[in-house]
């Protein structure tokens, strides 16, 4: 039995057409600035997001960390929602790499309010860390794929600006937010100093992310990328996949969103399973199952459905993507129904 894999949208494999784009890529040594495909990708993503410059990096984690290292100095503080990826899933990098203190703020499904941000900014005083940066996430992963409504995002950014903070956006799934709302990704990005986007999530590229932002910040991030060992040579083979993904895999994210909604509706009909179907906005859903989460993960795996835990004792995360079809959703629901019967 072929497993149906909802662990993450990172598990996709490059399509035959993407593999052809990879094979045909024109390359050079990007450390010398001589890889035309990387340069094209950096120009294209900066333009798409309405920002000045971009840097191609191996991972979303590195894009976020380069932003923090660029905006902050040791002893500074970064404000971020308490469920954010930079707090939970980046190996403690914020303090480990930069000597920066993260301040977790209370949010609702990953979203903050201007008041919460304003209240968290510390006054200038020798006792206090300097509050330097606000880091937001759109869509919000642990929040369940939540999209930031643009006006709320703007209000929160304004609260940060009023306090003199820089603003970073972890937009690993920013194109999911675009497709779910019809609001261009640039509308959020243009309000930030730096935005990270991933090509290796819903867009289906095998590797790669970008840090996009003001030219002076991206120049500094380029230095830090070298320091972290993230400067790559003939990386055009990877950039070609990202370019292909940007061109061909953005609009189809709507299918992933429809599949997630259908999956949520089917799960909500199972005895003891709780899913907030109305809050499934993009390609991520969080469901509560009656048994402890790790037990359910193992049980479903035995029935050919792969999922991840999602933080809470009973919470599971299911993510739809390019390699899961509408038929796979129906088959997965049959398998899950059998497993929990």
Instruction: Indicate the residue among 10 and 82 with the shorter CB distance to ligand TLP.
Output: 10
Residue nearest ligand TLP, CB atom distance: 60
By CB under 6 A, tell whether 77 contacts ligand TLP. Answer: no
Nearest to 37 by CA among 204, 238, 221, 200: 238
- Distances in Å between the Cα of 204 and the Cα atoms of 22, 77, 247 are 13, 34, 12
| Calpha distance 175→251 (Å, rounded) | 9
| Calpha distance 213→63 (Å, rounded) | 11
Query: In degrees rounded to 5, what are phi and psi of residue 50?
Result: 70, 30
Stretch that binds ligand TLP, among 25-33, 53-61, 68-76, 332-340 (CB under 6 A): 53-61
Taking the complex as a whole, the smallest distance from the CB of residue 91 to ligand TLP amounts, in Å, to 10
By CB under 6 A, tell whether 170 contacts ligand TLP. Answer: yes
Interaction residues for ligand TLP, span 279-338 (CB under 6 A): none
By CB under 6 A, tell whether 12 contacts ligand TLP. Answer: no
By CB under 6 A, tell whether 101 contacts ligand TLP. Answer: no
Taking the complex as a whole, the smallest distance from the CB of residue 299 to ligand TLP amounts, in Å, to 21
By CB under 6 A, tell whether 198 contacts ligand TLP. Answer: yes
The CB density around residue 96, as the number of other CB atoms within 10 Å, is 11
By CB under 6 A, tell whether 138 contacts ligand TLP. Answer: no
User: Could you tell me the sign of the dihedral formed by the alpha carbons of 139, 142, 145, 146, in that order?
Assistant: negative
| Calpha distance 247→249 (Å, rounded) | 6
CA-CA-CA-CA dihedral for 337, 313, 65, 107, to nearest 10: 100
Considering only residues 5, 6, 8, 131, which one is a binding residue for ligand TLP as defined by CB under 6 A?
8
The CB density around residue 99, as the number of other CB atoms within 10 Å, is 13
Taking the complex as a whole, the smallest distance from the CB of residue 34 to ligand TLP amounts, in Å, to 25
Considering only residues 37, 61, 80, 176, which one is a binding residue for ligand TLP as defined by CB under 6 A?
61
Taking the complex as a whole, the smallest distance from the CB of residue 272 to ligand TLP amounts, in Å, to 26
Kindly give, in sequence order, each residue whose CB lies less than 8 Å from that of residue 236, ignoring residues fewer than 6 positions away: 25, 26, 27, 28, 30, 35, 36, 37, 38
Considering only residues 137, 193, 256, 328, which one is a binding residue for ligand TLP as defined by CB under 6 A?
137
Footprint of ligand TLP (CB under 6 A) = 8, 10, 59-61, 64, 85, 89, 137, 141, 170, 172, 198, 200, 209
């Amino acid at each position: 039995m072929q497993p149906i894999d909802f662990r993450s949208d990172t598990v996709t494999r490059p399509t035959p057409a993407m593999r052809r784009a990879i094979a045909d890529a024109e390359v050079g040594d990007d450390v010398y600035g001589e890889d035309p495909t990387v340069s094209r990708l950096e120009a294209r993503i900066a333009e798409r997001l309405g920002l000045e410059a971009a840097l191609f990096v191996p991972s979303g984690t590195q894009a976020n960390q380069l932003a923090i290292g660029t905006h902050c100095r040791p002893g500074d503080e970064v404000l971020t929602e308490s469920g954010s990826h930079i707090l939970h899933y980046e190996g403690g990098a914020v303090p480990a790499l930069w000597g920066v203190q993260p301040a977790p703020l209370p949010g609702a499904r990953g979203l903050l309010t201007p008041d919460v941000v304003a209240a968290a900014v510390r006054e200038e005083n020798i006792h206090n860390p300097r509050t330097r940066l606000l880091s937001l996430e759109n869509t919000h992963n642990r929040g369940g794929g939540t999209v930031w409504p643009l006006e709320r995002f703007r209000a929160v950014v304004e609260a940060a600006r009023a306090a003199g903070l820089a603003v970073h956006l972890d937009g690993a799934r920013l194109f999911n937010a675009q497709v779910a709302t019809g609001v261009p990704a640039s509308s959020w990005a243009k309000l930030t100093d730096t935005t990270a986007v991933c090509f290796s999530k819903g867009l289906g590229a095998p590797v790669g992310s970008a840090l996009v932002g003001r030219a002076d910040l991206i120049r500094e991030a380029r230095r830090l990328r070298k320091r972290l060992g993230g400067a790559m040579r003939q990386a055009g083979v990877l950039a070609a996949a990202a370019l292909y993904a940007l061109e061909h895999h953005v609009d189809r994210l709507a299918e992933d969103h429809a599949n997630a909604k259908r999956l949520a509706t089917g799960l909500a009909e199972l005895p003891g399973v709780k899913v907030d179907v109305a809050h499934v906005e993009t390609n991520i859903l969080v469901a509560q199952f009656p048994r402890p989460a790790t037990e359910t993960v193992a049980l479903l795996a035995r029935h050919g459905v792969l999922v991840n835990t999602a933080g809470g004792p009973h919470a599971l995360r299911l993510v739809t993507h390019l390699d899961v079809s509408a038929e796979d959703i129906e088959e997965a629901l049959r398998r899950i129904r059998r497993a929990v019967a």
